[in-house]
Structure 1
Amino acid sequence: MLYKNDVFDLDGIRMRMLEADIPGDVAWCISLDSPVAWPVCLSYRQVADLSSVTVEEVSHKEHSESCLRKLEAAWTRLEPFLNQHGANLYEPKMRSLLVAEYAQAQGCSPVTLRKDLRRFWQRGQDKFALMPDFGNSGRRQDVAAEEDPEITGGRGRKPSGGQPVFQLKPTDIRYMQQVVEDVYLKDARVTAVDTYTELVERHYRYEDGNQQLYACPAGSRPSLRQFRHFLRTHYNIEIRLRKRKGNSDFEREDRKVLGTVLADCSGVGHYYEIDATLADVYLVSREDSRKIIGKATLYLIIDRKSRLIVGFYFGLENASWNAALQAILSISEDKRALCERYGVEYHPSDWPAHQVFPQEFLADRGDMISHASDNIAQGLQVTVTNLPSKRPDWKPLVECGFRLIHNTLRPVTPAYDPPSNATRRRGKHYEKDACLTVKDFGNLVLNAIIQNNRREILDYELTPAELLAGIRPSPIELWNHGIASRAGLLTRFPEERVRFALLRKDTATVTERGVEFLDCFYSFPEAIAKKWFETARKGRFKAVVSYDPRLVDQVYVHALDGRGAPHLATLTDRSQKYAGLSFGEVRYYELLRQQVRQESEHERMQNSLDYRQKIKPVVDNAEARLKAVGKTSRSARRADTKPARHEERTLERQEQARIQKVTPAVAAPEQAQKPPVSTGSPSTQQERLEAILARMRA
């Protein structure tokens, strides 16, 4: 037995049962295989015993929004028509009249209405039977069997010039893919037009009779529009940007931003962000205002939750661990003394985070990646996190803090030189207005920091608890409100401990000259009392020291057994010449000293060689004379040593002790410069020498 909407096979034709009147032996059916089929009336007894067959129905899921819009429009148009006329629509004559009247009333085409009716009946007589067949869009199935089929299947907007539409093939797709990956994705400077030009140059040129290459005419090569479509559909925007700009630049500039910087922040004191920049202000020397000393380095340490500036450094040190050390030390530094030093009015309420250290420092891969930063983790139990390179968006508050400070300084600071002026053609020379010293600049920066900490933040996302408590969105109020619940998790350190913890540690050698460390010698009373240096004369030993690389004058020497407080050691007299210098400068001077020693060793060697070369003739002559007189025993040669020495001394006295004639003072210069005339006759002297030699031979 067949039911409504059952599909059966009638002489090889699939038919769907639309409606049946069993007592009247009437069955209205419609063919599924004919695109122009309409309901036909059959005898129910003839088809009742036929078995139903399974057909693929329209799915009710996974349709696009455009399909659903088309479905709703067709159902809204057809549903009242079906409800009003029902089975009368099966009759051909009645159907034609009703369709024409309803189409005119609805303002739609009778052809559209007939198409909707046929689709409704053939596909199961429900709402989803009117779903459009967008899935059948595309190229013909018969072209897939070709060796190099046309992918576009004859589609495409006709060009305004009248040339044919180029039909893409798999070969063209491979060409496009190759040139995109070789050219476009490897260089952000290359545009889509440049890549398309490269595509035409590689694969779409022909050679004329003179062997000249020309680009194929339009219609014989892919158009720029087709190339752009391929680029957009095969490489989404993320792939294109990551390949062309790199992952770091994409994550910094083009990534999606769905979270907030406070997502993983537990509250005030959890994260301190630290970074450095070059202040955009030219400074002058304190001794001579005419001399410009350049721009200062500015360090800021900002609490992530409250935006409070808790630490800072401004000075002439380059961005390095030495300057970062000063910024971290400023957290515990005496703020009253600091304000007095720079002439700033002091209020304790402006520094609510005095001596409070965070759970974690967030820094980039610059100064804080130094091994010296391990002292923070070991001495202060604070974690130091070095963020990936080229990711300033991971510490955005300190990056924006620099801009806020500069915005405060810009309108009131002489010689403010914005970064944009450096790349501007024929930029202005703001340095001619330079008049601030480092101390003056410190006054401006400290006042700007205090102003920033007091100023309320626009669009700050206050929590419901903060809103109910009536908290104003200024950094100081946010800190004071948040610290009430976070104080038990944070630690305060005095300045002395912080300063000592931040010093670098290394190993020195105890010698008889003092504690030798980096080419400097130190001493302290405890070492003298314990006879360290006398002991080192028998055998040197090691000691641990803490030092500041910026100044060699003093170091801390730890106890040998590691117990007790370290001892403050000062330079010995041997190293006083280096007082006031840094260890880097001492190292430079020692390298110069070593270079001088090496050059001196070479000169000494050359001097010895010159001496030997000069005396060699004299020695050779003396040895030749001795060889000429023949061999004599050692005892015979020493027998008359005393008389021979007396004779030789007599001759020496006669040559060297003779008083010469005094030259008058008015004598001419030429006469005064004449050598004295020897009074001894050469022949007489030679006779005396021969007599002495004869006695020596005897």
Structure 2
Amino acid sequence: MELVKNSVWNVRKVDGVPSGLYRVLQIFEDISCLILFYLDNPKGITRPMAIELDKFSKYIKQKQILEGRFLLPPHLLLSEEEIDESYKMIRDENFSFIEGLVSDPEFVFDYATKSRVPRLAKHANSKGKARTTISRLLNSYWRYGQDKNALLPAYQYSGGAGQQRKVSEKPLGAPKTSRTLAVERPKTFIVTDTDKDNIRKSLKKHHLKTGGINLVETRKELLREYYAAEVKRAKALGEAPYVPSYKQVREWKYKLFTKNEITEKSSTDRDYLLSKRELLGDAKQKWPVPGSCFEIDATVADVHIVSSFGKQYVLGRPTIYSIVDRASGLIVGLNVSLYFASWRAARQALANAFLPKASYCKEFSIGIQESDWPAAHIPLRLMCDNGEMIGLEPQKLVVPLTELQLSPPYRPDFKAMVERRFGLLNDEMIHKLLGTTRGGKVVRGDRDPRKDAIYTLKEFTALLIDAVLELNRSIYNSLATSSSLLIEKNLSPTPLNFWKAHIAEHKHALKLADSSEVISRLYPPAKASMTRDGIEYNNMYYSCDRVVQGKLASIARTNGQWQLDARINENTTNYIYVRFDKNDVFTKCNLLGKSNMMKDQPMHESEFVMDWLDKNHEENPISVESIDSKVIRTNIERNAKTRAKNDDLTPTEKVKNTRERRNIEIEKTANKVEDNSVSLPQEKPKSNTEPKPSSVVYLPRRKR
């Protein structure tokens, strides 16, 4: 290592040289000598020492002397512009006292090697200063780097800053003063070590804990526990008690405890980690490329929706599932349903994230290209809640596709990216809709938001998709500093550009999803029936080429219907996926024309129709008229049976001459009608030309 002037060295186990840090003051190569100054004695006056240069170099090679480091105090680390003018004057004056000595190498050598240096005393007399003053200035100059700024005044240490003062009989600080001469203020309480201990105990017991009382009440508890006798004595004598004041308790709170201790003790571990801990890391450092980690979470939308078949029926607030890529912030998956946060809704969102988005947006009348929302991949890992995703079903169905990571309970900061996207969607779109609850911020007396609900589930989902596409195109400054690709390609720092740029450079952890595997694993399973009218599910009928070519509907009509495994897309009724054989893949079946009323509707609307039918059946099990008709039928039946009992004819006589009796019955019936028509009062004919009523005319009989 190179030996230079002003360098610092750490000396260890060298004969004749005490161990510690040393600064090189001068190097005399002509006499092979080195002048060192000991740095580990900041208060006393220290004289330099001389050592042979060859000896010092030998110990450096033997690792007994190592390169060291001496930290300068903060008041010496200021630029010239930051130093106060009065400090500069003191510095320059102090330097003028020793300038003639430190600039002379011969004096430094004599001062280090000789016990008596008359020149130092003569110089002190010429400057009008004491010899010890000059020696202290020399020590400061050599200790702090042989620079003029080493002589700056260290006022930051004045007054015992950061140290507790010793207790005395005289109160510290400004005395109490009376605003008027008529009132005499009590004397100031002097806080002793015992009082400090009492204050510490009371603060820990009553104030510095979860749900602790405020400082005013804490002082009252302090007086009750430790100064009750003094309060009673003062009350008896009619004077102010000699006890710690509120200001003293507040002051010693910050002296006895650090600010971080106060924060930690006053909050729970969860609250501290969630809201008060330091934020020194960045999720993008650990997961720097798209696909490293997806975050999934659910929230109840802050808006009420209505049924598409009956706008007067409010269905409540839907559940939004969102999946966000942690590296880019791109929203890669979305699902809106009437189910609460559950595995049934989560699997639909995962399927949406793993499959192309153009067809999904088309179901809601939004036309996009695949490049507008290019996320159709499986990530390396999936960060999810320790709730609906902890069961056996997610483990069986999702783990073969990607790795599941569960966040701790009550720690939404582990999914900060997706949580923030919910907040942005609320601010940008949801809280501006009719029927919104504005996140629960409803003023008393406001109109019930359910009465203003006008959007159906399909309309709300379409609005949400549009807002998601806009968020994916929004600029985020943090993306520009997390990767240099956007700057190299001169792209705006948007999640969409970040995603595309890294995919183009093959810097990602994504893998393409097989659509049939995603459908079979993640779409909700259901049972459909093969009937004569087609494949029936929820009173809706579907068909496909396999049904037509195999004449399966005809077989079901002849031999009876049978059940099929199905997979349902909750977002639409236009199609379902059906497996005709256990060894087949799922086939897409489209809605038939006979079920066109349900076309382009979310799947929950079919369930609404079925619920509506069930409700009507329950409200009207039979009609009131059917009860009356039942009574009439019973009476007629009773009269007929009574007449039959009174009949003496044999069965043979009953069926004999049926044709003649039929003709007689017809004649009697016709004559009865004619007699009834004659007996009615007749109106005066309007004209003599009108034909008169004729007798009954029999129609010709058909040939046998």
Q: Are 1:360 and 2:381 matched, yes or no?
A: yes
CA distance in 1, matches of 2:490, 2:408: 38
CA distance in 1, matches of 2:73, 2:91: 17
- For residue 457 of structure 1, the aligned residue among 472, 476, 479 is 476
Q: Are 1:57 and 2:39 matched, yes or no?
A: no
* CA offset digits 1:32-71 (Å, max 9, x no partner): xxxxxxxxxxxxxxxxxxxxxx997259977864699999
CA distance in 1, matches of 2:398, 2:168: 63
CA distance in 2, matches of 1:494, 1:215: 89
Give the letter for the 1:484 counterpart.
Answer: A
- Map 1:72-151 onto structure 2 (within 5 A): 74-83=90-99, 117=130, 120-121=133-134, 123=136, 125-127=138-140, 150=167
**Alpha-carbon distance change, 333 to 549 in structure 1, aligned in 2, over 3 angstroms:** closer
- For residue 205 of structure 1, the aligned residue among 205, 228, 234 is 228
| Alignment partner, residue 458 of structure 2 | 439
**Alpha-carbon distance change, 55 to 446 in structure 1, aligned in 2, over 3 angstroms:** closer
**Cα distance, 1:183 vs structure 2:** 0.9
**Cα distance, 1:94 vs structure 2:** 7.7
Q: Are 1:248 and 2:265 matched, yes or no?
A: no
Q: What is the root-mean-square deviation of aligned Cα atoms in Å?
A: 4.8
| Alignment partner, residue 419 of structure 2 | 399
| Alignment partner, residue 287 of structure 1 | 309
CA distance in 2, matches of 1:373, 1:460: 32
Give the letter for the 2:501 counterpart.
Answer: H
* CA offset digits 1:518-554 (Å, max 9, x no partner): xxxxxxxxxxxxxxxxxxxxxxxxxxx999999xx99
CA distance in 2, matches of 1:214, 1:338: 85
CA distance in 2, matches of 1:93, 1:464: 63
CA distance in 2, matches of 1:453, 1:357: 19
| Alignment partner, residue 270 of structure 1 | 292
* CA offset digits 1:466-523 (Å, max 9, x no partner): 2021122222222111112447742212333123333799xxxxxxxxxxxxxxxxxx
CA distance in 2, matches of 1:241, 1:333: 46
Give the letter for the 2:187 counterpart.
Answer: P
CA distance in 1, matches of 2:232, 2:370: 91
**Alpha-carbon distance change, 216 to 250 in structure 1, aligned in 2, over 3 angstroms:** farther
| Alignment partner, residue 176 of structure 2 | 159
Give the letter for the 1:191 counterpart.
Answer: N
CA distance in 1, matches of 2:392, 2:237: 63
| Alignment partner, residue 430 of structure 1 | 449
**Alpha-carbon distance change, 316 to 151 in structure 1, aligned in 2, over 3 angstroms:** farther
* CA offset digits 1:533-577 (Å, max 9, x no partner): xxxxxxxxxxxx999999xx9999998xxxx66999xxxxxxxxx
| Alignment partner, residue 419 of structure 1 | 439
Q: Indicate if the aligned counterparts of 1:456 and 1:472 stay in contact, CA closer than 8 A.
A: yes
* CA offset digits 1:51-92 (Å, max 9, x no partner): xxx997259977864699999875433222455899999699
**Alpha-carbon distance change, 488 to 456 in structure 1, aligned in 2, over 3 angstroms:** closer
Give the letter for the 1:187 counterpart.
Answer: T
How many residues were matched structurally?
Answer: 448
* CA offset digits 1:188-243 (Å, max 9, x no partner): 4533333223212322234688997999836x222333322322122222222122
- Map 1:251-650 onto structure 2 (within 5 A): 251-333=273-355, 335-354=357-376, 356-380=377-401, 382-410=402-430, 413-422=433-442, 424-458=443-477, 460-462=479-481, 463-486=483-506, 489-502=509-522
- Scaled by the length of structure 1, the TM-score of the pair is 0.55
**Cα distance, 1:439 vs structure 2:** 1.3
**Alpha-carbon distance change, 182 to 345 in structure 1, aligned in 2, over 3 angstroms:** same
CA distance in 2, matches of 1:62, 1:242: 32
CA distance in 2, matches of 1:334, 1:203: 72
- Scaled by the length of structure 2, the TM-score of the pair is 0.54
**Alpha-carbon distance change, 500 to 167 in structure 1, aligned in 2, over 3 angstroms:** same
Q: Secondary structure at the match of 2:480?
A: coil
Q: Indicate if the aligned counterparts of 2:567 and 2:577 stay in contact, CA closer than 8 A.
A: yes
Q: Indicate if the aligned counterparts of 2:290 and 2:508 stay in contact, CA closer than 8 A.
A: no
Give the letter for the 2:328 counterpart.
Answer: S
**Alpha-carbon distance change, 460 to 334 in structure 1, aligned in 2, over 3 angstroms:** closer
**Cα distance, 1:270 vs structure 2:** 1.1
Q: Are 1:171 and 2:190 matched, yes or no?
A: no
**Cα distance, 1:283 vs structure 2:** 0.6
* CA offset digits 1:104-138 (Å, max 9, x no partner): xxxxxxxxxx7xx5752464743369887998977
CA distance in 1, matches of 2:87, 2:232: 59
Q: Indicate if the aligned counterparts of 1:279 and 1:296 stay in contact, CA closer than 8 A.
A: yes
**Cα distance, 1:581 vs structure 2:** 9.1
CA distance in 1, matches of 2:505, 2:124: 85
Q: Indicate if the aligned counterparts of 1:375 and 1:501 stay in contact, CA closer than 8 A.
A: no
Bigger mean CA deviation after superposition, 180-189 or 430-439: 180-189
CA distance in 1, matches of 2:284, 2:169: 50
CA distance in 1, matches of 2:42, 2:427: 73
Q: Secondary structure at the match of 1:268?
A: coil
**Alpha-carbon distance change, 200 to 62 in structure 1, aligned in 2, over 3 angstroms:** farther
**Alpha-carbon distance change, 92 to 408 in structure 1, aligned in 2, over 3 angstroms:** closer
**Alpha-carbon distance change, 286 to 206 in structure 1, aligned in 2, over 3 angstroms:** same
Q: Indicate if the aligned counterparts of 2:189 and 2:245 stay in contact, CA closer than 8 A.
A: yes
CA distance in 2, matches of 1:242, 1:377: 39
Q: Indicate if the aligned counterparts of 2:293 and 2:379 stay in contact, CA closer than 8 A.
A: yes
CA distance in 2, matches of 1:152, 1:353: 76
CA distance in 1, matches of 2:488, 2:224: 69
Give the letter for the 1:166 counterpart.
Answer: F
Bigger mean CA deviation after superposition, 345-354 or 123-132: 123-132
Q: Indicate if the aligned counterparts of 2:344 and 2:524 stay in contact, CA closer than 8 A.
A: no
**Alpha-carbon distance change, 215 to 425 in structure 1, aligned in 2, over 3 angstroms:** farther
CA distance in 2, matches of 1:93, 1:328: 85
Q: Secondary structure at the match of 1:126?
A: helix
CA distance in 2, matches of 1:326, 1:85: 85
Q: Indicate if the aligned counterparts of 2:120 and 2:131 stay in contact, CA closer than 8 A.
A: no
Give the letter for the 2:94 counterpart.
Answer: L
CA distance in 1, matches of 2:398, 2:271: 31
Q: Secondary structure at the match of 2:317?
A: strand
Give the letter for the 2:451 counterpart.
Answer: K
CA distance in 2, matches of 1:475, 1:61: 48
Q: Secondary structure at the match of 2:305?
A: strand
Give the letter for the 1:77 counterpart.
Answer: E
Give the letter for the 1:407 counterpart.
Answer: D
Percent identical? 22
**Cα distance, 1:306 vs structure 2:** 2.0
Give the letter for the 1:57 counterpart.
Answer: G
Q: Indicate if the aligned counterparts of 2:479 and 2:494 stay in contact, CA closer than 8 A.
A: no
**Alpha-carbon distance change, 79 to 122 in structure 1, aligned in 2, over 3 angstroms:** closer
Q: Indicate if the aligned counterparts of 1:375 and 1:503 stay in contact, CA closer than 8 A.
A: no
Q: Secondary structure at the match of 2:310?
A: coil
CA distance in 2, matches of 1:492, 1:408: 32
Bigger mean CA deviation after superposition, 288-297 or 155-164: 155-164
